[in-house]
Every structure is written in C-alpha cells, then in structure tokens.
Amino acid sequence: MSTSSSSHTPASAASVRPGPGRAAVAGWLIAGIVAGSVLNEIIALLARAAGASEDFQPLQPGAFISFTVIGVLVGAVGWAVIRRRSADPRALLSWLVPTVVVVSLVPDLMMFFSDFQAHADAAGIIGLMVMHVAVAAAAVFAYQRALPLNDVPRS
C-alpha cells in the first residue's frame, strides 16, 4: 500500500519549489551589498587612476557604500513586490530594471552641465555611472537567488 500523495497534488503545485528561507535571503542580499561595494571600490580606484579628483565625494567609500546598501535593499523590496503581484514578473523586470538604471544615471549626467557636485570631473562622473551599472548587476544576481521568480505560486 502506497502512502504517496503525489497522485493528489496538482501538476502546477508539484512544479513550484519552496523559496529560500529568510536566512538565505538575508545572506544573498548581504552578498549583493558586499559585491556591489567591492566593485564600487575597484571602479573608484580606476576612476582616480584615470584622473578623477580625490575629493569627489561620490567616489569615497562612505558615500558609495551607504548608497549601495540603500539601493540594494530598496531594489529588493521592489523585486519582492513585483514577484508576488505581477502576473509576469520576469517580463516586467526585464524592462523595469534597465529603465531604473538609466533613470539613476540622470543626476550623474547632469553633473557634466552643472557644478552642484564639488570636484566633479569627467573621469569621476563616468566612474560614478559605471558604479550604478555594477551595483545593479550585483543586486540582480543576488535577487535572482534570494527571490527567484520561478518559485512564486500564481493565483
């Protein structure tokens, strides 16, 4: 006599894996923050080597680590809401993530035409723009593992 319940489980429910636990989610988000921060430090070093001012505040660890933490965590909230509420989260995120990154570059681009940020020069501004892309890449990598899109049951 078999006690298997697989014959009573709908096919769609059987294909849904349980998502990562809270500790795993936190671990992946921390990994995304650390990876983004390390990438930013490398980019800042390269930007300074290319002539960016040592005094350009966005290339200082205190500034970019703070914004990396905020960006990764706010992005995770958005990713989680979309994965839960969207009928097709993958399609939505496939255009929303690049759009958010492009919009995040607007203030950086404005630095080319204004002096609202002290010590901004081309090398620093370009480095800052590359930082935005690097953090987005690290964050999306972490989100795909922490909050996978294929694990979400649909109503």
Cα separation values, 29 from 56, 89, 110, 136, Å: 28, 19, 30, 12
Mean pLDDT of 83-98: 95
Q: Provide the residue ranges of all domains of the chain, joining segments of one domain with +.
A: 20-146
Encoded tokens for 132: 């935005």
CA angle 125, 127, 132 (to 5 degrees): 95
Q: Residue 113 — φ and ψ, nearest 5°?
A: -115, 0
Q: For the segment 23-62, what is each residue's pLDDT rounded down to a tens digit? A: 999 999 999 999 999 999 999 999 999 999 999 999 999 9
Strands of the chain, DSSP E: none
Beta-carbon contacts of 3 under 8 Å, excluding residues fewer than 6 positions away, are: none
Residue 26 CA to residue 8 CA, distance in Å, equals: 34
- What pLDDT does residue 18 have? 62
Residue 93 CA to residue 88 CA, distance in Å, equals: 9
Q: For the segment 93-135, what is each residue's pLDDT rounded down to a tens digit? A: 999 999 999 999 999 999 999 887 889 999 999 999 999 999 9
